[in-house]
Amino acid sequence: MYTIVKDYRNEIVIEKSRFICTLKKVASEAEAQEFIRAIKKEYWDATHNCSAYIVDDLAQRSSDDGEPSGTAGIPMLEVLRKNNLTGTAAVVTRYFGGIKLGAGGLVRAYSGSVAQAVKECGIAEKILMSKFSFRCDVNSVGRILNILYQQNLFTVADVEYDLRAKVILGMQHSQKEEAEAWLTERLNMPMELELEGSEYAEVPVK
């Protein structure tokens, strides 16, 4: 999954009409709709405030806001889809410059405005990062940690001490099986990691 690196705004002028694209990271459909309302309030005197957002596979919406049907919102939404973006909302504000662009011209203007903003803003991959743990004898912790620090597959996030020590590791969620195989081989004992928790991290795509 991908999202924009940060909130962003840019402006292009086509045939004397101003097209201002505002991008925002959103975590829910309610947040996306609130963002759209805020932009309409900010640009209350604009000719149109067309919008599109993708929160996830189930929450995807667009609006032409008075432009001819299918010439603004859907083209904007398609740009977000083409870039595989989620958690992203876009509003393109238009100040009409007196020259009509026609249906094709509007599609190119609205989609181009979003595409340029996304390109300038940058895209980040959303990677599920997890913490897994395993337990070991307290007296073995030092030796085990020395072994764990000799690799780049995961990081040692914490060590909790009780009757047995709990070693907590951080890694990409998808690397669990690879980590278990590595630990089994290097520590010379069957290893099954227990999930402690997960969250998405955003890594900019170069």
Question: Which CATH number belongs to the domain containing residue 171 in this structure?
Answer: 3.30.70
CA-wise closest residue to 191 among 183, 199, 200, 201: 183
For 141-159, what is each residue's pLDDT tens digit?
999 999 999 999 999 999 9
What's the pLDDT score for residue 1? 86
**Rounded to an integer, what distance in angstroms lies between the CA atom of residue 164 and that of residue 73?**
58
**Rounded to an integer, what distance in angstroms lies between the CA atom of residue 155 and that of residue 189?**
20
What's the pLDDT score for residue 136? 93
Q: Are residues 112 and 190 in the same domain?
A: no
Q: Are residues 90 and 168 in the same domain?
A: no
What's the pLDDT score for residue 85? 96
In 149-158, which positions are buried (b, 16+ CB within 10 angstroms) versus exposed (e)? eeeeebeeee
Domain housing 171:
128-204
What's the pLDDT score for residue 93? 98
**Which residues in the chain come in under a pLDDT of 70?**
none
Model pTM above 0.75? yes
Whether the Cβ atoms of residue 78 and residue 111 lie closer than 8 Å to each other: yes
Q: Are residues 48 and 105 in the same domain?
A: yes
DSSP at 81: H
Domain boundary among 60, 94, 121: 121
Helix axes 73-82, 102-121, angle to 10 degrees: 40
Find the DSSP H helices in 43-126: 73-82, 102-121
